[in-house]
Amino acid sequence: MISEASPRAEHTDPHRGAGHFYGWNVLAAGSLIMGVASGVSGYAATIFFVPISTALGLSHAATSLATSVARLENSFLAFFVGYAIDRFGPRPAIAVGMTLTGVGLIMFGLFANSLLTLIVTWSFMVALGASVGGFAPVWAALNNWFVRRKGRAMGVGMAAQSLGGLLIAPVLALLIATWGWRIAAVIVGVCVLVITLPASRVMHGRPSDLGLLPDGDAPVDAREDIEPSPERAGIVQRPVDNFSLRQAMRTPTLWILGLAFGIRQMVSGGVTLHLSPMLQAEGLSSVHAGAMVGLLAFMGVVGALVIGTLADRFERRRVAGAVVVIESLSLFVLFFGEVGWTLYLSLIGYGFAIGVHTLNRVLLGDYFGQTHYARLWGLLSVATTPLAITGPVLAGWVFDTSQSYDSVILVFAVLLAVAAVGYFNCRPPAAPIAPITA
């Protein structure tokens, strides 16, 4: 609740600069944290894939499983992490998670010499830490700080994740080619600690913690004589009900969203982790493959910003469905095309569509409110974990048995078409009838 003294504190509270909304600070710091987390746990994984599997003598399937185990760990912890974020705010989760990631990278570079040590350092530390500290707490904070501008704010956040890949993947490929993967891992681990821990201090979970309102709105008594802005004038905001966990689980909307999200997690995990080895199998050098991963990430930046803007102008489930259609078609192009211009076309289309991931979080907040947002996201994470683990392992197994990724690319393209149908049919749930108790 905003205290009576809050409006008068405007000139003394450092979080309330005149004409400046502190939510932009939260967005900037959160974007930096997510960019680092995504660049390390997602895009860097595909750059490390071939050097690691070669150095440790592992099959593609075994390497995929080792780097995907963190999803299983996260599924057990997701609900409790979500509860902690809702209860204590994002700062503790970010500090713990990103410390685990940074230290894990250093230990990965120094000590990973077997399948077991790879699982311990990468899955139990690097990837799990990034999930706990780099994504869940930031998305929960952005959901609270932005309502009308949620699509664009979360679009910026998703763009930051791709920007992290754009900056980290090519540089990491060069570091590995120059000094080897061990020294490269240690360097990146130190950078994670230096960058993310100071940024976590900026993160406040809710605007009400600082006596503010979402989107930078003024308190009601201070808005009586203010004309509605052009941005606000044409927007009809659907009232958002705060569902309890039990109420949300009783709606088909939550499970349709979960199925579509899970299929995308399966495909995204498989394609992203295996992109560099996939390109190298087609004859590209490791550095060239790293540059292509950077191209994919660059298009992810563009796509996230465009998709976030579209999501604030059009019905979000339809935007999501249309973008996933593009994602599916891009994989069909990759399957039927040859190395050459069709490869670039496929990566451009698929990279652009990566930004649709943010709409999963936007739709969840739109449909089910803010009170239990982090826990609901944790519930979806648990439910979709089997699919998220299956994608990378399936891709690795297919390559080990056929020395080609072609068949799994075709399967992924078809699955994305199914996910698109799910998004188109993910309609808002009916308002809850029973009173909210927990």
In a domain, 356, yes or no: yes
Residue 374 lies in a domain: yes
* One-letter amino acid of 143: N
CA-nearest of 357, 40, 301 to 189 is 40
Token pair, residue 326, equals: 């593009």
Structure confidence at residue 233 (pLDDT): 41
Residues 236-258 have pLDDT tens digits of 445 556 777 788 888 898 888 88
pLDDT at site 74: 67
- Nearest alpha-carbon partner for 382 in 245, 241, 275, 273: 245
- Which pLDDT score, from 0 to 100, does residue 28 have? 93
Secondary structure class of 12 (helix, strand, coil): coil
pLDDT (0 to 100) of residue 26: 92
What is the 8-class DSSP label of residue 211?
T
The two tokens of residue 154 are: 């979360």
Do the domain assignments include residue 364?
yes
Domain count, the chain: 1
Domain membership flag for residue 224: no
Is 199 part of any domain? yes
Looking at residue 126, its pLDDT comes to 93
CA distance 387 to 242: 28
**pLDDT, tens only, 112-158:** 999 999 999 998 899 889 988 988 899 888 888 888 787 778 778 87
Q: What is the pLDDT of residue 8?
A: 38
pLDDT category at 53 given cuts 50, 70, 90 is very high
**CA torsion, ordered 319, 321, 326, 329, to nearest 10 deg:** -170
- In the predicted model, is pLDDT for residue 279 greater than 60? yes
For residue 390, the domain's CATH number is 1.20.1250.20
Ranking 23-32, 67-76, 295-304 by mean pLDDT, the lowest is 67-76
- pLDDT given at position 6: 39
Please report the pLDDT score of residue 220 as a whole number.
Answer: 54
pTM above the 0.75 mark?
no
Percentage of the chain surpassing pLDDT 90?
A: 34
pLDDT band at 225 (very low <50, low <70, confident <90, very high): very low
336-388 pLDDT, tens digit per residue, is 877 677 888 899 999 899 878 778 877 887 888 777 777 787 778 778 888 88
Instruction: Indicate whether 12 pLDDT > 90.
Output: no
Structural domain contains residue 396: yes
What pLDDT is stored for residue 438 in this prediction?
A: 45
pLDDT digits (tens, 9 = 90+) for 412-436: 999 999 999 999 998 888 876 654 4
Quote the CA–CA distance of 335 and 165 in Å, as a whole number.
Answer: 24
91 domain residue, yes or no = yes
Q: Is position 215 within any domain? A: no
Which domain range does residue 114 map to? 19-207+242-424
